[in-house]
């Protein structure tokens, strides 16, 4: 009897991401992107229970808050999950200690090059270290200094972004980095895209935007509906008006807050030129504009003036789906692409 093409395709997909799945300890090498206020116990456990790998976004949490999130996640799943820590957090050492004491097996150090002491604490504590790399040279350096896996995230992603697209990063890094698993992120919304990167040498993929608008996400319904009706071109990076007042690029959906931020920058620049404020005071005024804006959008549903962080894959969010359905849909798309190719 002839073999079932879909069974063969599924087996091939499993082989393609087997290294990533084995590293994460889950059936599917699909990570949940760590999104502040969104990637908490409910979403993280849902991703892990569906066969992916959920990641708690520590963000600005205190050690006690992180411990509670880990405990809460454990109450909802017995599957593996990770914790994402920001390297510039003033209590980074304590956050690592809390994570290790809770026996979390994977720690992601994000937001900058992981400091040596932090890397040693993670490794000595027995956890696997995942780091972000924006270029091949830094990828090699991170692996030499202890990273067990790498995430390369393109500028298509939501939230804080670098300047290079995933398409370019994948070509630069994947053919030359086989020492550790490499996961791709940024703008991924379909299984065919995941498949293409796996065939280039990736070990798996990280998605954030689709999961942010899932049923299990605690984000406000207004926040989720904004995603459903948005297009890719609506997710724009924040603009720096004057190089004297640097702005870290953050990709989000354009709203009234985005427009007011431009006016705020112009006003602050004019006050700086007039000598009404010092450069340091002006920079602080710019940086404080968005203070609390992400929470307002995610938790309170303020999609007019809040910060609605979203990647360009938001155009592929067409409904609010359960996490398990999203993951199975991605797998189905990848398998269908393999079947079509074989035919």
Q: Give tens-digit pLDDT for 230-265.
A: 999 999 999 999 999 999 999 999 999 999 999 999
Q: Are both 58 and 82 inside the same structural domain?
A: yes
pLDDT at 343: 86
pLDDT at 4: 86
CA distance 338 to 6: 8
Q: Are both 22 and 161 inside the same structural domain?
A: yes
Q: Are both 180 and 106 inside the same structural domain?
A: yes
pLDDT at 260: 94
Tokens of 251: 């990709």
pLDDT class of 93 with cuts at 50, 70, 90: very high
Q: Are both 170 and 29 inside the same structural domain?
A: yes
Query: Phi-psi region for residue 237, left (φ > 0), alpha (ψ -120 to 50) or beta?
Result: beta
Tell me: pLDDT of 56 over 70. yes
Q: Are both 296 and 326 inside the same structural domain?
A: no
pLDDT class of 47 with cuts at 50, 70, 90: very high
Q: Are both 196 and 69 inside the same structural domain?
A: yes
pLDDT, tens digit, for every residue of 206-235? 999 999 999 999 999 999 999 999 999 999
On whether residue 226 sits in a domain, the answer given is no
Q: Are both 154 and 265 inside the same structural domain?
A: no
On whether residue 227 sits in a domain, the answer given is no
Average pLDDT, the chain: 96
Exposed / middle / buried, residue 241 (Cβ in 10 Å: 0-12, 13-18, 19+) = middle
**Residue 39: domain span:** 5-219+314-342
pLDDT, tens digit, for every residue of 272-314? 999 999 999 999 999 999 989 999 999 999 999 999 999 999 9
pLDDT at 337: 98
pLDDT class of 39 with cuts at 50, 70, 90: very high
On whether residue 118 sits in a domain, the answer given is yes
Residues in the chain: 343
Tokens of 76: 């909802």
Q: Are both 196 and 115 inside the same structural domain?
A: yes
pLDDT > 70 in the chain, percent? 99
Q: What is the dihedral of CA 144, 148, 154, 159, to 10 degrees?
A: -120
Q: How far is CA 328 from CA 252, 277, 296, in A?
A: 27, 54, 31
Tell me: pLDDT of 21 over 80. yes
pLDDT class of 2 with cuts at 50, 70, 90: low
Number of folded domains that form the chain: 2
Q: Is the pTM of this model over 0.85?
A: yes
Tell me: pLDDT of 51 over 70. yes
On whether residue 225 sits in a domain, the answer given is no
On whether residue 157 sits in a domain, the answer given is yes
User: Domain of 55: which CATH number?
Assistant: 3.20.20.70
Q: Are both 243 and 132 inside the same structural domain?
A: no
On whether residue 323 sits in a domain, the answer given is yes
On whether residue 224 sits in a domain, the answer given is no
Block residue for tokens 């690029």: 249
On whether residue 28 sits in a domain, the answer given is yes
Q: Are both 23 and 164 inside the same structural domain?
A: yes
pLDDT at 207: 98
Q: How far is CA 265 from CA 284, 289, 290, in A?
A: 11, 9, 12
CB atoms within 10 A of CB 328: 16
Q: Are both 214 and 265 inside the same structural domain?
A: no
Q: Are both 304 and 324 inside the same structural domain?
A: no
| Across 166-184, average pLDDT | 97
């Amino acid at each position: 009897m002839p073999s079932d093409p879909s069974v063969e395709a599924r087996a091939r997909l499993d082989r393609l991401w087997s290294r990533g799945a084995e590293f994460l300890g889950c059936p599917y090498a699909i990570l949940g992107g760590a999104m502040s206020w969104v990637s908490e116990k409910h979403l993280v456990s849902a991703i892990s229970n569906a066969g992916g790998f959920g990641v708690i976004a520590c963000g600005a949490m205190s050690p006690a808050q992180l411990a509670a999130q880990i405990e809460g996640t454990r109450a909802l799943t017995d599957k593996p999950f990770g914790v994402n820590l920001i390297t510039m957090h003033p209590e980074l050492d304590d956050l690592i200690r809390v994570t290790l004491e809770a026996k979390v097996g994977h720690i992601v150090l994000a937001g900058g090059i992981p400091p040596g002491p932090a890397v040693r604490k993670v490794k000595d504590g027995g956890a696997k270290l995942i780091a972000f790399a924006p270029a091949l040279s830094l990828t090699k350096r991170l692996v030499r200094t202890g990273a067990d896996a790498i995430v390369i995230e393109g500028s298509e992603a939501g939230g804080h972004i670098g300047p290079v697209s995933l398409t370019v990063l994948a070509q630069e890094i994947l053919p030359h980095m086989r020492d550790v698993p490499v996961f791709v992120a940024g703008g991924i919304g379909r299984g065919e895209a995941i498949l293409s990167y796996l065939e280039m040498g990736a070990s798996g993929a990280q998605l954030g935007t689709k999961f942010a608008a899932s049923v299990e996400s605690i984000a406000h319904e207004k926040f989720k509906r904004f995603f459903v009706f948005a297009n890719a071109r609506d997710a724009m990076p924040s603009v720096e008006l004057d190089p004297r007042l640097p702005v870290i690029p953050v990709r989000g959906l354009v709203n009234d807050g985005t427009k007011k931020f431009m006016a705020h920058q112009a006003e602050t620049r004019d006050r700086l030129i007039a000598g009404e404020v010092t450069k340091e005071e002006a920079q602080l005024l710019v940086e404080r504009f968005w203070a609390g804006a992400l929470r307002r959008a995610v938790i309170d549903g303020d999609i007019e003036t809040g910060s609605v962080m979203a990647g360009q894959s938001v155009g592929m969010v067409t409904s609010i789906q359960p996490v398990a359905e999203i993951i199975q849909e991605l797998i189905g798309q990848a398998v269908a692409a393999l079947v079509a190719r074989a035919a």
